Amino acid sequence: MDKLVIEGGVKLKGEVVISGAKNSVLPILAATLLTDDACIIKSVPNLRDTNTMFKILRSLGKVVEYDGGVVTVTSGKSINYIADYKLVSTMRASICVLGPLLGRLKKAKVSLPGGCIIGDRPVDLHIKGIRALGADVHIESGYVVAGAKKLKGGHMYLGGVYGSSVLATDNVMMAAVLASGKTVIESAACEPEVADLAEFLIKMGAKIKGHGTPIIEIDGVKHLHGATHTIIPDRIEAGTMMLASLITDGDILVKNVCFRHLGALIDKLEESGAAIIKTDNSLRVRKRKQLRGVTITTLPYPGFETDMQAQMMSLMSVVPGTSLFTGRIYPDRFMHVAELRRMGAQIQREGPHAIVEGEKYLSGAPVMASDLRASACLVLAGLAARGKTSISRIYHLERGYENIEEKLQNLGARVWREKE
């Protein structure tokens, strides 16, 4: 197993091109189960998670070919309705095959994806949504088992304790496109990745309105056909690279970004004192003056993204003043705090809050990644720290950041892999 070693203190400069969005491509790949026709998906990042989804699709009867960021999905043998535990258990997003299997075959048996280090993430909203379409759903031996003689459009509210659910919205939308009649999803997730899935489904022949808003309307159709689609840029990777520029006092041009997907992050960075210059589909990011602390509350989109909380905490750890972080999506998503403390960060955890007192510098140390975004947080901390930082369990990082080691090296970072 490899670890990532970073020798900090280098001001990163240059250009970096952002890959396609992981959180968009996974449900879009799952949506190819809705047709026997060929589907071509472009700008697909080469990640552990995308490769896991390839394996799941193949296990369900699809033929998947990947070449230079382009995925072609065609039908081989008949589609299998059972998504096995051995594959689904390795990736939370695997649950998104539930909707298309049910929509296409009127039956599905998908393993529960299990727990998650960032906090409890139940599937109750998924079940609530597909039940509203007329499906019988129950949990049996660790599997979600769903079936219906016929799916019918329904009216449902998918708001949960901590807001809307992206994957539940995805699943219901994919099941509903082949249901008879009209489906209305209230408190639907508004994330760009949900809208991207809807755009792909529309290209396949689905009739969807309101995607990107809290109310999505779907008129069911009898069948869908193949389509070609290009994945939107990954806003979390873009945000991480923006913070890499600021935490190293650098000057980076972040290319292939969508400005409107980064509104909350840009607002907080400008409030802190960053200079962010928009040019075409790029953002130039550098310090305008000495940065200052900010208050961050994670919220459903278009609020501050929970997937950027850990990385932002790294930055605020070396910014003078006090910063307050509050988690409204996953209140327990603070696994990275202990590791940042090992590097000298002054952070106090109080329930769903974390109080950060900025230090002049962090010190390199051996640390361990607990999840995907925590690993990115530790990379940022390592880039800013004095001395060497070694990050174990970097397979987490490989789940969501394509070629991050090479991209950082091209910006001047001293970063390399070593065997544990």
Which residues form the catalytic set? 116
Instruction: Give the pairing of strands 346-350 and 322-327.
Output: unpaired
Q: Report how far apart, in Å, the C-alpha atoms of 254 and of each of 234, 289, 302 are.
A: 12, 20, 21
For residue 410, give the amino acid letter. N
Question: What's CA 21's distance to the chain center, in Å?
Answer: 7
Alpha-carbon span 401 to 19, nearest angstrom: 8
Residues 6 or more apart from 82 whose CB is under 8 A from it? 109, 110
Number of Cβ within a 10 Å radius of residue 160: 15
Alpha-carbon span 205 to 183, nearest angstrom: 16
Can you say whether the dihedral through the CA atoms of 196, 199, 205, 206 is positive or negative?
positive
Tokens at 274, concatenated: 């960053």
Q: What is the per-residue DSSP string for 317-337?
A: TTSSSEEEEEESS-TT--THH
Q: 35 near 224, Cβ under 8 Å?
A: yes
**What is d(CA 247, CA 184) in angstroms, rounded to the nearest whole number?**
44
> Does an H or E element contain 9, and which?
none
Using alpha carbons only, what angle is made at residue 332 by residues 326 and 333, rounded to the nearest 5 degrees? 75
